[in-house]
Structure 1
Amino acid sequence: MSRRAANPHPSRRAEVPDLAGRIAAKTAKIGVIGLGYVGLPLACLFAEKGFSVIGFDIDPKKIAVLNAGRSYIKHIPATRIRPLVKAGKLTASDDFAGLKRMDAIIICVPTPLTKFREPDLRFIVTTGESVARYLRKGQIVVLESSTYPGTTTEVLKPILERGGLKSGRDFHLAYSPEREDPGNEKFGTAAIPKVVGGDGAKALQLAKLLYDGVVVKTVPVSSPETAEAIKLTENIFRAVNIAMVNELKVIFDAMGIDVWEVIEAAKTKPFGFMPFYPGPGLGGHCIPIDPFYLTWKAREFGINTRFIELAGEINTLMPRYVVSRLAAALSTHAGRALRKARILMIGLAYKKNVDDMRESPSLTLIGMLEEAGALVDYHDPFIPRIKPSREHGHLTDRRSVPLSAKRIAAADAVLIVTDHDSVDYKLIGQHARLVVDTRNAMAKAGARGRQVVKA
Structure 2
Amino acid sequence: MNYIASPADTLDLAVDRGRPMVCVQGLGFVGSAMAIAIANARGPDGQPLYTVVGVDLPNEAGRHRVSSIARGAMPFPGGDPALDAALVRAHEAGNLTATDNPEVFAIADVVLVDINLDIDWSAPQPEVRFGPLERAMDDLGSRLPPGALVIVETTVPPGTCERVIGPRLAAALEARGLPADAIHLAHSYERVMPGAQYYESIVNYWRVYSGRTPEAADACERFLSTVLNVRDYPLTRLASTTASETAKVLENSYRAVTIAFMEEWGRFAEAVGIDMFEIVGAIRKRPTHANMRQPGFGVGGYCLTKDPLFGAVAARTLFGREDLGFPFSSEAVRTNAAMPLVALDTLRRRFGGSLRDKRVLLLGVSYREDVGDTRYSPAQTFVEAAEREEAKVVAHDPLVAYWAELARPVCRELPDPTGFDAVVFTQASPPYRRLDLAAWLKDARPEVIDANNVLTDDQRRQLRDLGCGFTSIGRG
Q: Distance in 2 between matches of 1:411 and 1:442?
A: 19
Q: Distance in 1 between matches of 2:398 and 2:289?
A: 38
Aligned residue type for 2:164 = V
Asked whether the equivalents of residues 242 and 277 of structure 1 are also in contact (C-alpha less than 8 Å), the reply is: yes
Match in the other structure for 2:398? 381
Match in the other structure for 1:277? 294
Aligned residue type for 1:434 = E
1:454 aligns with 2:472: yes
- Where structure 1 has 5 or more consecutive residues not aligned to the other structure, the ranges are 1-25, 390-394
Match in the other structure for 1:415? 424
Q: Distance in 1 between matches of 2:430 and 2:119?
A: 31
Of 322, 325, 328, the residue aligned with 2:343 is 322
Asked whether the equivalents of residues 40 and 86 of structure 2 are also in contact (C-alpha less than 8 Å), the reply is: no
CA-based RMSD of the aligned residues comes to 2.0
Q: Distance in 2 between matches of 1:424 and 1:297?
A: 42
1:330 deviation in Å? 2.6
Match in the other structure for 2:13? none
1:64 aligns with 2:57: no
> Residues 387-411 of structure 1, C-alpha deviation per residue, up to 9 Å, x if partnerless?
2x3xxxxx2033225214xx21321
Q: Distance in 2 between matches of 1:353 and 1:157?
A: 37
Aligned residue type for 2:357 = K
Q: Distance in 2 between matches of 1:212 and 1:80?
A: 18
Q: Distance in 2 between matches of 1:370 and 1:257?
A: 31
1:78 deviation in Å? 4.9
The DSSP-based 3-state class of the residue aligned with 1:442 is coil
Q: Distance in 2 between matches of 1:444 and 1:386?
A: 31
Aligned residue type for 1:307 = F
1:63 deviation in Å? 1.5
Structural mapping, 1:138-217, within 5 Å? 138-163=147-172, 164=174, 165-167=178-180, 169-185=181-197, 187-217=200-230
1:37 deviation in Å? 1.0
1:365 deviation in Å? 0.8
1:113 aligns with 2:119: yes
The DSSP-based 3-state class of the residue aligned with 1:359 is coil
Q: Distance in 2 between matches of 1:204 and 1:426?
A: 50
Normalised TM-score (structure 1): 0.87
The DSSP-based 3-state class of the residue aligned with 1:131 is helix
1:424 deviation in Å? 5.6
1:239 aligns with 2:250: no
Match in the other structure for 2:51? 52
Q: Distance in 1 between matches of 2:86 and 2:290?
A: 38
Number of equivalent positions: 417
1:441 aligns with 2:454: yes
Q: Distance in 2 between matches of 1:97 and 1:426?
A: 50
Q: Distance in 2 between matches of 1:329 and 1:133?
A: 61
- Alpha carbons of structure 1 residues 251 and 260: separation in structure 2 relative to 1, 3 Å: same
Asked whether the equivalents of residues 377 and 401 of structure 1 are also in contact (C-alpha less than 8 Å), the reply is: no
Match in the other structure for 1:13? none
The DSSP-based 3-state class of the residue aligned with 1:281 is coil
The DSSP-based 3-state class of the residue aligned with 1:422 is helix
The DSSP-based 3-state class of the residue aligned with 1:436 is strand
- Segment of structure 1 superposing worse, 203-212 or 64-73: 64-73
- Alpha carbons of structure 1 residues 261 and 409: separation in structure 2 relative to 1, 3 Å: farther
Match in the other structure for 2:143? 134
> Residues 3-45 of structure 1, C-alpha deviation per residue, up to 9 Å, x if partnerless?
xxxxxxxxxxxxxxxxxxxxxxx93211101111111111111
Identity within the alignment, %: 25
Aligned residue type for 1:88 = G
1:345 aligns with 2:362: yes
1:151 deviation in Å? 0.6
1:193 deviation in Å? 1.5
Q: Distance in 1 between matches of 2:127 and 2:91?
A: 39
The DSSP-based 3-state class of the residue aligned with 1:308 is helix
- Alpha carbons of structure 1 residues 289 and 303: separation in structure 2 relative to 1, 3 Å: same
The DSSP-based 3-state class of the residue aligned with 1:38 is helix
- Segment of structure 1 superposing worse, 157-166 or 106-115: 157-166
Asked whether the equivalents of residues 426 and 445 of structure 1 are also in contact (C-alpha less than 8 Å), the reply is: no
1:446 deviation in Å? 3.8
- Alpha carbons of structure 1 residues 251 and 308: separation in structure 2 relative to 1, 3 Å: same
The DSSP-based 3-state class of the residue aligned with 1:196 is strand
Aligned residue type for 1:451 = G
Match in the other structure for 1:222? 239
> Residues 354-404 of structure 1, C-alpha deviation per residue, up to 9 Å, x if partnerless?
1111110001111000001100000101001112x3xxxxx2033225214
- Where structure 2 has 5 or more consecutive residues not aligned to the other structure, the ranges are 1-17, 42-47
Q: Distance in 2 between matches of 1:429 and 1:160?
A: 61
Aligned residue type for 2:408 = D
Q: Distance in 1 between matches of 2:168 and 2:196?
A: 35
Asked whether the equivalents of residues 378 and 401 of structure 1 are also in contact (C-alpha less than 8 Å), the reply is: no
Greater relative contact order (Cα 8 A, min sep 6): structure 1 or 2? 2
